[in-house]
Chains A and B, each alone.
Chain A
Amino acid sequence: MTEIEDFAGPFWEGLNRNEFRVPSCDDCGTVVFPPGPICPECGSDELTWGEIDPVGTLHSVTQQHRTPPGFDSPIVLGMIDLDAGPRLLSPIDAEYEQLSIGDRVRIEAVDYDFAFDRGPRADDPFFTAVVVDDV
């Protein structure tokens, strides 16, 4: 029988140890995020998991005032371009007024405590970005 793969499973396992584990493409080097079955740049399915240092640059940022049920207002969110290549949307553990495009940030694992049903990831940590000055 064909086995259905949990394509992002190793990411969440890594995050439980505060490691940022992602697959990279053996053919073109692209770091794949969110982790998936193939390289979205070249289509190769030759991917190898490894740990990266999740530091990057704030591409943009917002402070969201109206929030879904179960989320306290406001929420500070940003798009972060990791040095390793991928862009991700992330909560940011900082005051909105203190943040600017171009700020250097690092992704860290945090306990997840919002009333949103994450399904099979319910017991896994989530992540947030913190501002770093030294990288």
Chain B
Amino acid sequence: MTTATVAGISTLPNDTYDAEERDMAATVLGDALDDAAVEPGDVDGLYMPKPRPWTSQKFFSTFLTRWLGLDLDRSLEVYTGGTSGGTAFRSAVADVRSGAVDTAAVLAVERNSTVETDDYFEYILGIFDRQFQSPMGPSIPAVYAQSLQRYCYEHDVDRETIATVVEKNRRNAESNPDALFYESAAPTPAEILDSRPISDPLRLYECPAPTDGAAALILTSDGSDDVDVEVTGIGYDHPPSHLIGVRGESMSRLPAAAGGTEAALDDAGLDAEDLDVLEPYAPFPHVEAIITEEMGLFERGEGARAAADGRTATDGEIPVSPSGGCIGRGHPAMVTPLINHAEAVRQLRGTAANQIDGARSVLTTSEHGHVDGMNAAVFEVKR
């Protein structure tokens, strides 16, 4: 089997952009190709999340293909909510491994600044069960608020402990120039719990700020010494879950996180304890904590306390979200999975804003709904 290597990466800082999506996309793609020292004409696979409805350009990948003169053996424009970017990436890795593609461009772009809040809420209603759930007017935070409630109840975790996960990620973002909250003083747990209620008990600072963003990665089958980061594991899991969890299972459990990360680690031939860094897609603080528990890194209910004790800080035993994650960086949901991947590559190149000394392996995740499905990927310094 051919090994997929990451030859190039590029990200725009999460922010608000007036530029059109096409120009943002072409910019990150061009920068990633430069980083990989690859010509556009070498790209034979293009993979991207389908931009959400408020992106006016439809048929985005086909538009790009002609605009940039690409001649492709594979292309994919996929939409599965927050996993979309991860699924595009996983498909690209699979195509490089199989030999179907030699040079894959994985690309994502999104401008959430262009969508009115009411329109966004109407769109979100549509991801719930139209017959049995949408008519009551639910939002995404309303679902995560209930798993947070359940997590605190079952494990006797207090809200201040949950808030320390936010504080850690905002502190990490302070020194990440790509983050929305770069150089913005991290709130204290008291300030976090004093911020506006969004869906009780979730508070504003515990929710990810929607932003604009774009990112691209170039995967190649090139095994030369110039390329030093490999994708050694990809995995996915989707149990029978749609926003209210798996039948008979507590909302404080995230079985897709257990299954997705285990599949990627198996693919890489690693154990969770072998990992040096995690860059999870964790839009709410308890989700980050539970992912670490589902991976077996901490006992149930200990994931949040581990953050409070500094065990997941950049100088802790297993740094989690050293980039700031969704909460510190801001969250363009279609782009976030690729930003996680780019941050993983930076850690392994030794160029991350919050560099973990000697990082040799990083695991990233992406999820959709209420962690109904999860992608995971393992990146390693070339062995």
Contacts and interface: CB of A to CB of B under 8 A. Distances in A.
B185 to A, nearest CB: 25
Contact of B137 (A8, A61, A71, A121): A71
B146 A40 contact: no
Contact of A68 (B118, B199, B200, B240): B118
A interface bracket (residues with beta carbon within 8 Å of B): 35 or more
A113 to B, nearest CB: 11
A17 interface: no
A66 B139 contact: yes
B251 A60 contact: yes
Interface string A67-97: 1111100010111000001111111000010
Interface string B245-272: 1011011000000000000000000000
Contacts of A34: 129, 131-132
Given A59-B251, A77-B142, A65 B198 contact: yes
Contact of B136 (A8, A41, A126): A126
A101 interface: yes
A77 B251 contact: no
B138 A96 contact: no
Interface string B115-141: 001100110110011111111111101
Interface in A16-70: 34, 40-41, 59-70
Nearest to B147: A60
B311 interface: no
Q: Which of A41, A89, A91, A118 has the most CB of B within 10 A?
A: A89
B145 interface: yes
A79 B138 contact: no
B243 interface: yes
B150 A64 contact: no
Contacts of B133: 89
Given A34-B131, A59-B251, A60-B147, A40 B240 contact: yes
Contacts of B53: none
* Residue from A62, A66, A67, A85 whose CB has the most chain B CB atoms within 10 Å: A62
A89 B243 contact: yes
B136 A89 contact: yes
A65 B121 contact: no
A88 B198 CA distance: 22
Interface residue tally of chain B, by bracket?
Answer: 35 or more
Given A34-B129, A87-B247, A66 B153 contact: no
Contact of A8 (B131, B145, B243, B244): B131
A121 B131 contact: yes
B150 A88 contact: no
A68 B244 contact: no
A112 B333 CA distance: 33
Contacts of B80: none
Interface string B171-206: 000000000000000000000000011111110000
A69 B122 contact: yes
Interface of B: 117-118, 121-122, 124-125, 128-139, 141-142, 145-147, 149-150, 153, 196-202, 240, 243-245, 247-248, 250-251
Given A66-B198, A88-B244, 16 more contacts: A60-B150, A64-B137, A64-B138, A67-B121, A87-B245, A89-B128, A90-B136, A96-B200, A101-B149, A112-B135, A114-B135, A116-B125, A116-B134, A118-B135, A126-B135, A126-B136
Which 7 A-B pairs rank lowest in CB-CB distance, beginning with the nearest? A60-B146, A71-B137, A68-B121, A62-B145, A63-B200, A64-B142, A64-B199
27 contacts: A59-B150, A60-B146, A61-B146, A62-B145, A62-B146, A63-B199, A64-B137, A64-B141, A65-B199, A66-B199, A67-B137, A68-B125, A68-B137, A69-B118, A69-B121, A70-B137, A71-B137, A75-B136, A75-B142, A78-B146, A79-B244, A85-B248, A88-B244, A89-B138, A118-B131, A121-B135, A126-B135
